[in-house]
Amino acid sequence: MKTIGLLGGMSWESTAHYYSGLNKGVKAELGGLHSAKIAMYSVDFAPVEAMQHKGDLQGLAAVMIDGAKRIEAAGADFMLICTNTMHEFVPDMEPEINIPILHIADATAEVIKESGIKKVGLLGTAFTMEKAFYKDRLIEKHGIDVITPGADERKAVHDIIYQELCLGEIKDASKAVYLRIIDRLAEKGAEAVILGCTEIGMLVKPQDTNVKLLDTTEIHAEKAVEMAIKE
């Protein structure tokens, strides 16, 4: 079994779901007392969040490169970044390490294409919804049509992530906001909606809506289990 590297802490709430999902996935595949081999480095999220909102891309890249090097040194065979937003720095990280990064957008795109879906809605932080690093990868590399909510709705989604979900706060009123936005994306032609922030799955569940939801945390962890146990 390969050792999975996890770069987490952004936030630790969603990283805990990764750890649980990986171990449950390995046990489901191999049975008995099997669990995942994991090398994890978890950052302090407060300075990372401050740099995100200041737009300190150089500082953020340095944090991500440092974390990746630590994970490689700990013996990981490949690694996951336990957040959608910080995949912006994959191009900075890859030249600095010798192990592959399993990209969350690629893992999600595989599921989308296997389902025959052509058009998806994307929810996430403002960085993920508005910058090119995530949407363009889905559009240009995988041929998937991506739509996002309007400006006011993007702000609502973003604020709930940082002010509530990253703090472990789950509120019914916020769930209602998300479900209205998901319905509007479906009205605009989205055949499914990507929960493109690893915390959103804590708030919105598949049983909450008739719209197909793609939980990137679950998808990413499932793909990592496949890679880890594949001979």
Tell me which residues are annotated as active site.
83, 197
Distance CA 107, CA 122 (A): 15
| Contacts with 217 (C-beta within 8 Å, 6 or more apart), sequence order | 14, 17, 18, 21, 82, 195, 198, 201
Its sign, for the CA torsion 105, 108, 112, 114, is positive
Q: Where are the beta strands (DSSP E) in 10-77?
A: 38-42
Bridge-partner residues for 42, per DSSP? Answer: 8
| DSSP code, position 2 | P
Give the angle 199-212-193 at the CA atoms, nearest 5°. Answer: 55
- Look up residue 98 and give its DSSP letter: S
Q: How far is CA 182 from CA 116, 143, 177, 203, in A?
A: 20, 22, 9, 13
Instruction: Name the phi and psi angles at 213, rounded to 5.
Output: -110, 140
Nearest-angstrom CA–CA distance, 222 and 4 = 12
